[in-house]
Amino acid sequence: MQMGAFTVYLILIAAIVIDFFWLDVEQKRWGWMKNWSRLHKGLFFSGFIAVTACIYIGLSLNYM
Q: What is the pLDDT of residues 7-42, one digit of tens each?
A: 877 888 888 888 877 776 777 777 788 888 989 988
Query: Is-above-0.75 flag for pTM?
Result: no
Q: Are 27 and 59 spatial neighbours (Cβ–Cβ below 8 Å)? A: no
Instruction: Tally the C-alpha atoms within 13 A of residue 16's C-alpha that lie toward its C-beta.
Output: 13
Contacts of 31 (CB under 8 A, 6+ apart): 24
Separation of alpha carbons 13 and 48, rounded Å: 10
